[in-house]
Chains A and B, each alone.
Chain A
């Protein structure tokens, strides 16, 4: 049992090395994503396409974006997005297209409406609340801190007196 600390250390190191090796090695693995071969004229178009494909939800999947879904309506929707981009439509127009047919469900970035105000501003509210709590705690800690200082002074005196006694002896 006394050797346990060493064993524990050995175990931890080997575990971590194993995980490290696993994380950096490469094994051929099956991928799920679909590949479209859309030809874009500019990099900006490609970037917009990828962005929108990531930000729209696949209507028939178990919580995946259009990018991560192969086949079915996701494929068709990506094609539509491609065609609209090449047609010169703006991001807003493409979003409207999706909204009219599939509703808010298809947006991974929820629109800011009256119903989603709590969602978008909730975290800020939490942060403000948190800040208020911190100030409250700090304020309450102040008298204690000063008390300590005072005590320490008093204790310093006593210590000094004791030390003086010791020196004399």
Chain B
């Protein structure tokens, strides 16, 4: 073996070590959405509030937030005040997707905590959730005026997330709409 070849193992190892070091600062858990820039899936489901059947056509014509929630979901409770504040300020319409929940429990939750939603779509068997690539509440989508998904946030929304992620993304979507 020529002398230089003997240094190959050290070299290979160092490259691997650098890769591993970089890897430590990645988050392998948050699954980015593959539905960005794709249209919202079609659906025909009842509303939580009055059980009236609605479909994609009944969604707002302007950019809005689609928030996936459930009465069983603790982080959803945590982000409720922030969404309520957004509703008070009239910043953006919020439509809820009540994911794999029971109708009476959902209504109870909204009565107890207040509903930031214009209305909530009842997705009792989780089919709409699957079509949205949801894997657990809470998840929040930003949908533009044409019914196209433009952004997805997974997990609870705290004040920091609202200011640093949601609002800028929303502003970008709105800016495009006016072009």
Contact = CB atoms under 8 A, between A and B. Distances in A.
Interface string A96-137: 000111110100000000000000000000000000000000
- Interface-central residue, A72, A73, A100, by most chain B CB under 10 Å: A73
Nearest to A140: B1
Nearest to A74: B135
Q: Which bracket fits the contact residues of A?
A: 10 to 19
Interface residues of B, number: 17
A73 B126 contact: yes
Most buried by A among B33, B131, B133: B133
Interface string A47-74: 0000000000001100000000000110
Interface of B is mostly: loop
Interface residues of chain A: helix, strand, loop or mixed (majority): helix
Among A60, A77, A102, the one with the most B-chain Cβ atoms within 10 Å of its Cβ is A102
A76 B130 CA distance: 8
B114 interface: no
7 closest Cβ pairs, A-B complex: A103-B34, A59-B135, A60-B135, A76-B126, A101-B133, A73-B135, A60-B136
Given A77-B130, A101-B132, 11 more contacts: A60-B136, A73-B126, A73-B129, A73-B130, A80-B127, A100-B34, A101-B35, A102-B34, A103-B32, A103-B33, A105-B31
